[in-house]
Amino acid sequence: MKNAGSIAVLLSGGLDSAILTGGLAEEYRRVFPVYVRCGFVWENAEEKHARRFIKALNHPALADLVAFDMPVDDILADHWSVTGNGVPDGATPDEAVFLPGRNVLLLAKPALWCHQKGIKRIALGPLGSNPFPDSTPAFYDAYQAVLNQAVEGDLEIVRPFEDLTKTDVIERGRDLPLEWTFSCIQPVDGLHCGRCNKCAERRSAFRGIALADPTRYADSTD
């Protein structure tokens, strides 16, 4: 039975958040996808894909994408995420793409927006393998408490995928329009570069469940 309530979801446009959005649309009466612009080099391509993914889903439960600006160029002026220089490549570990405090920023405005709109839940898609300190159950529980204390609210931050692997998630979403997801941190003319850390992770995930990769890579190796 479909949940009678509403939920917001942080939709970055990547595989995990897109598949989460598709699943929530089957569970909730109304789903509000939210995108947060921080000024990272991949965001133009990422946001376009997120909007195209919502359009391709064409699900009656899905609202239009809500976008907020949370610029970080003043504190990360020389960082690869803002300059595009020295972007971690496919040989680097997950820790190479850590953006300190990113989830603090990504949740702040969406959480306040949910409070204003009377939406009691916001979802995001961290996986069990996520190694970052701002993506642990302890962090989310503490952040939820602080947010609710600040506005005398009762918002719940839900993470349905936190016990799953990347291949688990893609298996769940294998019938969704995954060609309209975007995972690259160094896009080339709006396409996945095919060389960065996130492109390598993406390719590995599709191979992990023997699913044809529908992604257009700029390096044309797939």
Q: Are 176 and 13 in contact (CB under 8 A)?
A: no
**Does residue 221 fall inside a structural domain?**
no
Domain count, the chain: 1
Would 10 be classed as within a structural domain?
yes
CA 149 – CA 54 distance, rounded (Å): 33
Domain that holds residue 180: 3-208
Residue 220 in domain = no
**Closest to 25 (Cα-Cα) out of 73, 62, 67:** 62
- What is the phi/psi pair of residue 26, to 5°? -85, -15
Residue 220, H or E segment: none
Tell me the CATH number at 52: 3.40.50.620
Helix (H/G/I), strand (E/B), else coil: 43: helix
Q: Is 10 helix (H, G, I), strand (E, B) or coil?
A: strand
Q: How far apart are CA 206 and CA 97, in angstroms?
A: 20
Asked whether the predicted pLDDT for residue 220 surpasses 70, the reply is no
| pLDDT above 70 (res 44) | yes
Q: Taking 80 as the threshold, does the pLDDT of residue 129 lie above it?
A: no
Query: Does 152 reside within a domain?
Result: yes
pLDDT, tens only, 49-107: 999 999 999 999 999 999 999 999 899 889 999 999 999 999 998 788 888 888 999 99
Tokens of 16: 């995990």
